[in-house]
Chains A and B, each alone.
Chain A
Amino acid sequence: KQEVTQIPAALSVPEGENLVLNCSFTDSAIYNLQWFRQDPGKGLTSLLLIQSSQREQTSGRLNASLDKSSGRSTLYIAASQPGDSATYLCANHQTGANNLFFGTGTRLTVIP
């Protein structure tokens, strides 16, 4: 059964720093991996979707990479801002399954 782990569980950085969030998964047979953002008391906002054939995706200050063979993905946030403070979730769609398997999340706080 697919297990998805995110490290660290919480991260606090000063504004302006670049940072990396990590996601690892046990079964590399996936269709895609998706990064989400969740603000307190809110829903999930999709940030980036990487198909299994892709190595990375970029959107603005965000860059997500995928290494299927090693079961890892990273989300790189450049020049962090207080508005980036949220919980970041990674999830993958496993081949043969019909749903997303979620990680445990990383709670990010960017200090002004």
Chain B
Amino acid sequence: DTAVSQTPKYLVTQMGNDKSIKCEQNLGHDTMYWYKQDSKKFLKIMFSYNNKELIINETVPNRFSPKSPDKAHLNLHINSLELGDSAVYFCASSPLGGRRGYTFGSGTRLTVV
């Protein structure tokens, strides 16, 4: 029974395409996040949602748009994909805004060709 699940696990697409990554958590957490892991394996926050409300929007191109239809879901839509968007994207969730630890999904490896 997966706690934080992301789909798809792998995504290979051409430059200029639009794609979405979905995330769902069944932990009852109130905050969800998107992190990006670059080629050097460094993880950095992209977005944070608390009870469907955007809390953090780091310096990310506006081609990236998160959407939270409800507390248990946070999707990431990417328009006009570029080569530099290739990375692993992780979804995470936490209770109490992160003060009781975070749970991560297994990641989505995006490759733009």
Contact = CB atoms under 8 A, between A and B. Distances in A.
Interface in A4-61: 31-32, 34, 36, 38, 41-46, 49
Interface in B1-50: 31, 33, 35, 41-45, 48, 50
Nearest to A38: B41
B64 interface: no
B55 A98 contact: yes
Contacts of A78: none
Interface of A: 31-32, 34, 36, 38, 41-46, 49, 87, 89, 91, 93, 98-100, 102, 104-105
A54 B41 CA distance: 29
A104 B42 contact: yes
B98 A93 contact: yes
Given A32-B98, A98-B98, 11 more contacts: A32-B99, A43-B90, A43-B105, A43-B106, A46-B104, A93-B102, A98-B55, A99-B48, A100-B43, A102-B42, A105-B42
Instruction: Pick from B48, B102, B103 the residue with the most CB of A within 10 Å.
Output: B102
8 contacts: A43-B106, A46-B101, A87-B41, A91-B43, A93-B99, A98-B97, A100-B98, A105-B42
Contacts of A105: 41-42
Contacts, number: 59
A46 B103 contact: yes
B66 interface: no
Contacts of A100: 35, 43, 45, 92, 98, 102
A102 B107 CA distance: 16
B108 to A, nearest CB: 10
Contacts of B35: 100
Nearest to B10: A41
